[in-house]
Structure 1
Amino acid sequence: MNENLAAQLEHIQYPTFTFPWSGACAPFAEAVDQEALRWAQTQGLIISEKQLARHARGKYGWLMARCYPHADRELVQLLTDFVLWYFIVDDLFVDRVDAVAQETLPNLTAILDIIDFDHASATPRFGEMAFLGICQRMRARLDPEHFERFAHGIRLWGSAAGLQILCNIMKEPLAQRSYEALRRYVGGVLPCLALCDAANAGKVSAAEYHQFGVQRLIHHTINTIIWNNDIHSMAVETLHPSQVRNMVSLHVARGHTLQEGVDFTARKVREEMLLFQQRANQLEQGASRQLQGFISGLRDWLHGYNEWADVDTQRYSLHHAEQDPDDNGVLLAAR
């Protein structure tokens, strides 16, 4: 790690984000969190006590319980299993890929094949069977068009993940606009937001869901969450200076200090929050009960993610990041 950046980290002043609406948390956060960890072990996603401890610190059950506080236990469990799978696979297949290898593309295309064909390959890749089970549970819960909204988010994540890998091996940092477009999908938030209505007043009609204003509202939600995440993950990702993959470090690469990068990103977050509120207020006028529930679900996600990152998780703890095992070779060799 760059010694100058390490010195700056000790004195960073982090922003505080507040929302003009209250948050909530489903009462079974701890239970679904523990069940998800057991599920991941049976699926071969976690194969050591150190890895178990690492993912237990993530508190993904709390994330889903805060982001879907009105959902039933079954749905929160399904979403927690998915998010745990996602964090494990994204870490291995995307964020820690410093060079393209023979396994790089097959790891990602296997996920796309699950979405498209609803069956695993003859020789399943790491995490493939676990994801098949998640998708089959999703299909049983949702009607086909509703599932396709989730599937669309996964396809965009898989495509953006390939671009993320390309960015990781490039010598020059991304331009701001290109970064924002890529981050919008590689952050993995879209598949989850597509199910906000399932956790509230029921499925939004296709005509309402796909209208431009609603899609822009989803984009404001994603931007707020992922750029907020860029601040939360900044200290950990500073440990890997060869990989420029957050808005803070991009700003630093343009000649600014780490604090200036944090402040710049915080301003971007607040701008998106304001745009979200303005568009949400417009859309709610004359919206169906289902769309109103969906918009409430987006608010739950904004508040819930921020609360989880500030209060619950240790995923972005610099102390633990320095001690965590490098799972990449170990897990992939064990499949």
Structure 2
Amino acid sequence: MRRVSHTGGDVPVQGPGAGPSTVADVTDHLLVRDVDEDALLALIFPHLPAGTGTSVPPGDDAAVVAAPDGRVVVTTDVLVEDRHFRRRWSTGEDVGHRAAVQNLADVAAMGARPTSLVVALVAPGDLPVDWVEGLARGLGQVCAPLDVGVVGGDLSGGEHVVVAVTAHGDLAGRAPVLRSGARPGDVVAHAGRRGWSAAGLALLDAGRGGDDAGLVEAYLRPTSPLEAGPRAADAGATAMLDVSDGLLRDAGRIARSSGVRLDLDEPRSAFADDLERLEHAARLLGADATEWVLTGGEDHGLLATFPADGPLPAPFRRVGRVLDAGEGPDVLVGGHEPGTRGTGWDHFRA
């Protein structure tokens, strides 16, 4: 076994013969099966922020993270290769970015500030080591500016890449914002993009990814208005969630949890800016941009309800109203049953 120097310690490299003279040269050509677990961790750790709330970082059996509120918001999510991403489209950095954002958005949707992530990776032997380093870089690029620590996790071998993330957050004295608090008369509001990620995926599926790099980027590396979650809680939001599976599907979750109906405004008025941005891609593909807005997932905007007599906090915009429960669908669009081909992403029917 030869060893190459790396920040955080020497990295053992399996295999005979003299190797390149730099770590970059070595890792550019290594596969996961060429290194042992300690070597892979030594390459990953330098890319991961600790966060100022972390008192015991990775290296022991568990990390220790401060919980000033006394309560901890916890959520978990997974990304499965060829189910949630494809390696021929997505770099390790793309997947790390997405894995962080989708979990941090769930914390924000409770009205909390994210504090830390724990990440588990299943890696096949033929996965390039630099893809794994890219995953760590993507996690760090999202988390470091937010002072969110990536404080540990697990590594395992397997046939496909699986990234599982558990996120923690701090409510800072706030009551958590649940899905079950919407009341008739409330305003329905949304913060963030709608339909961009679905359009980017459609472009990639059609082999037209080069026709709109901005929409493809929105799919590969979604953004979320994370600061809007605590801001909505402070403004009296009665219900809130991360729109990960499509506007209609997730609006229905609020409606059913709260025992109400949600009547969304017509997309042409509520999401005019998004539709304008999507129209070129829709024309290229012969698609309906309104479908992307109503049913497209993975934009990770926030959907919330607020009392009608108060101002909406930025960047929320009004997109509907809450009605009494009644006969018919849980979610209406412009007062009518949605005339769409589907309601959004379902992990077991997609």
TM-score normalized by the length of structure 2? 0.28
Which structure ranks higher in relative contact order (CA pairs < 8 Å, sequence separation ≥ 6)? 1
More helix by share: 1
Q: Which has the higher strand share?
A: 2
